Chains A and B, each alone.
Chain A
């Protein structure tokens, strides 16, 4: 610091900060400010133009997804309708046996809920964690129409013995806090025991981790299959003369244009045990009449049908990249001494990677969230996690668990996207 005057950086900074060095426009305003002002109007107009779209996205996409995500960790179905007993749970330690105050609070809450006709809602919430309890709540609610006298414990137990079940109380305690991670725990086959420790659920009930695993594995298999099948087709599309490639393009796009039901039905006709493919195999003697293959209503069915449906998503980005690859690259490689395989591997294939990355990402993400095809042709072994989400949305009405599962799926996709960005760079993505 002794010799500030001789420090070149110091000199530069001092001239730059000294007023005269800054650029100004003709009327003396600093150039940067003049530029910003001149651009502001244009920017405002551009913003007004995209405003409708922005509003649309906000209303139809961001808000619903936000609400959905909120449901995954916030559920007030119990606490809002059973305030007194919730307060008692909040005051007492986990594992405390219900005392008189607790029974009184429960009786009062149940009576109030029966009056307000919300007791079924409460029952549904508890039913998530302890099946069979919804009817307990509704029937007790009916019995309480005329009011209830103390001693509450005995009277409630008289209505239904199940009120004495310690597991019910522990489940109610968990449900009494509206903000909870329990749905996420459930989504990965975990739960809290009576002491509040996180434990794996009973082996027979562990479905979600297995389904997540299966979903990702099948999606990988499908992505790989679409690549293997789609790459040569994309190459043909990019190199054939226009007339032929147009015809081929129509064939590629055909799955988009046929109704899902027609497609699925044709897969059934083809793949079922008495179907065309099996008949053909038996007829050619490859398999015996007794050994007909089960190719639908199982994982095989899911894989075949989804590969077919997602194939265009692999082919189109690949095609759009391949079309731009000048054939002289491969010729140059050949003239430099590379065999056709080496020229393909070292020169052609690397240039298709942006398309391949885009296609693979697209197919994988679509496959991970695919729902209708596995539901129709997957049988039970071909069901994916999204079928489970759909089930919780429509039949068990456990929206919070569905939301938690969906949130995990979304997180996994985002992680994948992030990894792709780190490894390949998202700017290299070429969708068309």
Chain B
């Protein structure tokens, strides 16, 4: 796995800052190293600076401060067309006055490639996205998904080592989006290219990426592989942004190694893993995934602390059962149970005791 030393990274952002108006920083001190062949996703809410980062990498925006390097070479002064970076835009940006074939041969033409070579490459790229039959169509005569494939083929046809994609699937419906996610991932593995992918769809980010950089407020909140991000969120923002999450406010009562005992504001004591909390008596927000909550004592580690919960409602969702519980003064605590044959059916009004493995509950900094 890559570490955060930027020396041999393929793409490196070092202390990059960006301001559009000279008053507010849209990107604040960005440090990011992307390895060769990696699929890195920038994930974050709207306005968090993802596109801005991508545009700085592509060369359409200049960094206000800091350095961006590509294959070890600083590229702050290199104009976009000399960077050799493929790019897929959210609106595809297929040239409307050119046919699909002309669109694809454009990057080859401007590189001065001879016609026979161009034709062969265009054909190969189109076959790669199964669009060979559409070579003489205009973009306007294609469906959204087809345009998407053409845009992808055009970004890949000149064999760039780095491809940037800014919400490339944003305009597609769910089914097509999932299909294209698979295809993009497949192409990434097949071609061995480096991909920087921007999305605000966390499902997309989790399924496609090698690593995800979670952006908020112009900073990377956490940079980690999907599983780690999901299971071990580094702060409250990441915990609440990725996946469904229960949060319980409280105070640290005791440390045992990195295990902590937390006294909840609504009463009761629970086990947790201290993440970015180091002192006894400090306020914290404990975050627990709904599917990691247990209510059968045999599923919990021995000696685990439990708290009382009252079932408010149970929703049948097919593969899972989703129970809403009243816990420690909040009635929005969610527990998910697998819908197996032997599963205990809970009834509203029933009082149970819930608990969990200490590593599944993460004591994070308090939320405002």
Which residues of the partner chain B approach A347 to less than 8 Å between Cβ atoms?
Answer: 95
Determine the chain B residues whose CB is within 8 A of the CB of A351 once the complex forms: 95-97
- Which of A335, A337, A342 has its CB near the most chain B CB atoms (within 10 A)? A335
- Name which residue of chain B comes closest to A336, CB basis: B107
Which of A338, A346, A350 contacts B81, CB < 8 Å?
A: A338
Contacts of A342 in B (CB 8 A): 110
B84 adjacent to A332 (CB under 8 Å): no
Please tell me if the beta carbons of B81 and A332 are within 8 angstroms of each other in the complex.
no
How far does the Cβ of A242 sit from chain B's closest Cβ, in whole Å? Answer: 16
> How many residues on the A side are at the interface (Cβ–Cβ under 8 A)?
19
Q: Is B95's CB under 8 angstroms from A337's CB?
A: no
Q: Say yes or no for A329: interface residue by CB 8 A criterion.
A: yes
Contact A337 B96 (CB under 8 A): no
Chain B residues near A346 (CB-CB < 8 A): 106, 110
Interface residues of B in 83-116 (CB under 8 A from A): 83-87, 89, 91, 93-97, 106-107, 110-111
**Chain B residues with Cβ under 8 A from A338's Cβ?**
81, 106-107, 110
Query: Is B154 an interface residue, CB under 8 A from the partner?
Result: yes
A350:B110 contact, CB within 8 angstroms: no
Shortest beta-carbon distance from A297 to chain B in Å? 45
| Residue numbers in B under 8 Å from A332 (CB-CB) | 87, 89, 93-95
Interface residues contributed by chain B, number (CB under 8 Å): 26
- CB-CB under 8 A from B154, the residues of chain A are 336
Q: Which residues of A contact B94 (CB under 8 A)?
A: 332
Given A331-B60, A342-B110, A351-B97, also A336-B91 (CB < 8 A): no
Taking a contact as CB atoms under 8 Å apart, the answer to whether B93 and A328 are in contact is yes
Contact among A328, A329, A335, A350 for B80, CB-based, below 8 A = A335
For residue A67, CB closer than 8 A to chain B, the reply is no
CA distance A336 to B106 in the complex (A): 8
Instruction: From the candidates B97, B111, B164, name the one contacting A350 in the complex (CB within 8 A).
Output: B97
Of chain B, the residue at the smallest CB distance from A346 is B106
The yes or no answer to B158 lying at the interface (CB within 8 A) is yes
Other-chain residue from A326, A335, A337 in contact with B58 (beta carbon distance below 8 A): A335
A329 touches B95 (CB 8 A): yes
Given A338-B81, A338-B106, A339-B81: A333 and B89 interface contact (C-beta under 8 Å): no
Q: Is A334 an interface residue (CB 8 A)?
A: yes
CB distance from A427 to the nearest CB of B (A): 14
22 A–B contact pairs at CB < 8 A?
A328-B91, A328-B93, A329-B95, A331-B93, A332-B89, A332-B94, A334-B60, A334-B79, A335-B59, A335-B80, A335-B85, A336-B87, A336-B107, A336-B154, A336-B155, A337-B107, A339-B81, A339-B110, A340-B81, A343-B81, A347-B95, A351-B95
Enumerate chain A interface residues (CB-CB to B < 8 A).
326, 328-329, 331-340, 342-343, 346-347, 350-351
The 5 closest A-B CB pairs, nearest first, are A336-B107, A332-B93, A335-B87, A328-B93, A334-B80
